[in-house]
Amino acid sequence: MPRDEIAFTLDGRACSALEGDTVLTALLTQGQRLRESDFSDAPRAGFCLMGACQDCWVQLESGERLRACTTPLLPGMQVRTGARR
Amino acid sequence: MSSTPKERRFVIVGAGPAGMRAAERLVEAGERPVVIDEAQRFGGQIYRQPPAVMQRERRDLYGFEAGRAAAVLDRFEALRPQVDYRPQTLVWQVEASALQLLHAGRTTTLPFDALILATGATDRVLPFPGWTLPGVYTLGAAQVALKFQATLIGPRVVFAGTGPLLYLVAWQYASHGGQVAAVLDSAPLSAKLRAAPGMLARPTVAAKGAYFLARLRLLGVPLHGGVTLLKAEGRERVTGLSWLAQGTTHTTECDAVGFGHGLRSETQLADLAGCAFDWNEIDQAWLPQRDAAGRSSVRGVYLAGDGAGILGADAAELSGAGAAQAALDDLQASSPAAASARALPTSPAATSPATSPAAAMQPHVAFRRALETAFALPPNWAAEAPDDLIVCRCEEITAGELRACARDTGARELNRLKALTRIGMGRCQGRMCAPGAARLLAEATGCPLKDVGRLRGQAPVKPLPVALLHEAAPSTVVPEDEDD
């Protein structure tokens, strides 16, 4: 079953993913990391994918924070990974 | 329990095999249970379903377990009109007779008369250097990627650690277009032979395991036992895994690593409910006490599935139904109108001792014991962990910091270590670090693992939006730092 494309932005850049993708899937299709560690600059990209480890929290441009592995990507989401641009 | 039968509310937390079968039993008895689940769709981790727009053949999703998956998923789907099913909902606190829920950014209170906790499990992780690098995931995560998102954690993957999931996931990847660069088992392959007699408690399950191994061999996937994981290589993401076997160091190039060391029960809600815990030798963990029917030490709170002890999906279905029956029996017995009330179906235990819950569970317990032999945890993990190993991935607390704390302060108990080092205090609340931290503390103090205790659960059990904490009653949220 072909899936519809969903448009979103990642650190201001226009991107697209597929309906049914989580925010994590959409972001890791575009790049290697979701965020940097709060305690070092080390890159992170999630770990358990089931909402337990809390490693994949990202921020929307609005400031709202969400857990990428359990949040479905919605059209028009503006995601900020905190990665250096 | 003063409520009348028609008002009583049964609440099930978790919509995996245990929760779904508990709901079925309650619906059969004429109840309308509330089923709360964090996921988008029911199924739990083992029978996790993709989003509706990505529905696939069950044979493709669940392999040999497709029949079991179909039976329980279709049954729950059919029950939906009689179940108050609440997906994408987090239980973040348990009070005396009410749950605090979070759904769509709002918290609500849900009172209950009987609570069945079927909270499942996550991977038990004993970390190795580099495990925080992008591309390194749990074995469970590798499965979630495949079942839920129809994707792989990488095109070329090393699977490592130990446990039955190791070979299952490797086979799933190999048969879904993934290249399995190696399967590295920390337990020696000879341990499988030693465990073989015990595995005959469930011969078909054992045969499936043997099948995965044989298929992987046939595909030419390198399989190694007795492996020590040295380091995930790479800077921006994992590019290889270094490991040691029989005194020789190897590096296997890869784009991703899936690893884990069996499963650990999600016990936070049982803890918040006030359940007493016992040491479990098989799981090497403190688990909430339960009787053969699933009653916890707290009246009105029942335990089922892997959240109360790791026994697998088939046992979870049994214990889910059993816990629901116990809840029905107890509310029936305590009802003032019990004598005149309509007769509820009686527990199978009462009518047929041959199929008592304990007897039905026996092969699962025997099999689980054999698995622990076949997939023994690396015995020297704590002694061999380097000082700079990150144990807490939330706050990057190292093995050396934990050792130094034990040495310098004399801390001998896990919550003391937590207060002094913040281990287990980060966002995951110890879900990922506790097995490692407990082993390091036991090793540093020369105590048995049991004696270092367990991290106490704290509400909220998962992060809540800060704005919501102001809405919640002050007494329901205990600041972490107040502990100890």
| B2 occurs within a structural domain | no
| B5 occurs within a structural domain | no
Answer yes or no: do B393 and A57 touch at CB < 8 A: no
Give yes or no: residues B144 and B247 share one domain.
yes
Give yes or no: residues B117 and B28 share one domain.
yes
B425 vs A contacts (CB less than 8 Å): none
Give the residue from B261, B280, B295 where a domain finishes.
B261
Domains of chain A as residue ranges with CATH: 5-80 (3.10.20.440)
This complex has an ipTM of 0.96
Interface of A with B in 21-80 (CB under 8 A): 21-22, 25, 32-33, 37-40, 42-55, 57, 64-65, 67, 69-70, 72
Answer whether B393 touches A (CB < 8 Å): yes
Answer whether B462 touches A (CB < 8 Å): yes
Give yes or no: residues B100 and B132 share one domain.
no
Summarised one tens digit per residue, pLDDT across range A35-49 is 999 899 899 999 999
| B370 occurs within a structural domain | no
Distance CA A27, CA A50 (A): 16
Interhelix angle for B203-218 vs B190-199, to 10°? 150
**Domains of chain B: total:** 3
Q: Which of B39, B53, B134 is closest, CB to CB, to A44?
A: B134
- Judge contact between B154 and B254, C-beta under 8 A: yes
- Judge contact between B178 and B155, C-beta under 8 A: yes
Distance CA B376, CA B186 (A): 8
Model confidence pTM above 0.90: yes
Give yes or no: residues B178 and B254 share one domain.
yes
Residue-range definition of the domain harbouring residue B298: 10-122+264-345
Interface of B with A in 2-61 (CB under 8 A): 38-40, 45, 50-55
Q: What is the CATH number of the domain that holds B465?
A: 1.10.10
Among B236, B269, B397, the residue to mutate for chain A (most A Cβ within 10 A): B236
| B467 occurs within a structural domain | yes
| B230 occurs within a structural domain | yes
Answer yes or no: do B393 and A43 touch at CB < 8 A: no
Answer yes or no: do A50 and B144 touch at CB < 8 A: yes
Q: Which amino acid is at B221?
A: V
Write out chain B's pLDDT in tens, 484 residues: 444 445 789 999 999 999 999 999 999 999 999 999 999 999 999 999 999 999 899 999 999 999 999 999 999 999 999 999 999 999 999 998 999 999 998 999 999 999 999 999 999 999 999 999 999 999 999 999 999 999 999 999 999 999 999 999 999 999 999 999 999 999 998 998 899 999 999 999 999 999 999 999 999 999 999 999 999 999 999 999 999 999 999 999 999 999 999 999 999 999 999 999 999 999 999 999 999 999 999 999 999 999 999 999 999 999 999 999 999 999 988 876 654 444 445 544 444 445 788 899 999 999 999 999 999 999 999 999 999 999 999 999 999 999 999 999 999 999 999 999 999 999 999 999 999 999 999 999 999 999 999 999 999 999 987 666 555 554 444 444 434 3
- Judge contact between B195 and B374, C-beta under 8 A: yes
Q: Which residue of A has its CA nearest to B134?
A: A45
Give yes or no: residues B338 and B390 share one domain.
no
Summarised one tens digit per residue, pLDDT across range B367-382 is 999 999 999 999 999 9
Q: What is the CATH number of the domain that holds B313?
A: 3.50.50.60
Summarised one tens digit per residue, pLDDT across range A53-85 is 999 999 999 999 999 999 999 999 999 986 544
| Calculated CA dihedral for residues B190, B194, B196, B198, nearest 10 degrees | -150
Interface of B with A in 117-136 (CB under 8 A): 122-123, 132-136
Give the residue from B261, B295, B313 where a domain finishes.
B261
Among A48, A65, A70, the residue to mutate for chain B (most B Cβ within 10 A): A48
Give the residue from B345, B369, B400 where a domain finishes.
B345
- SS3 state of residue B243: strand
Cβ burial B8-27 (10 Å sphere, 16+ → b, else e): bbbbbbbbbbbbbbbbbbbb
A62: phi then psi, degrees, rounded to nearest 5? -70, -10
Cβ–Cβ pairs < 8 A, chains A and B: 107
Answer whether B165 touches A (CB < 8 Å): no
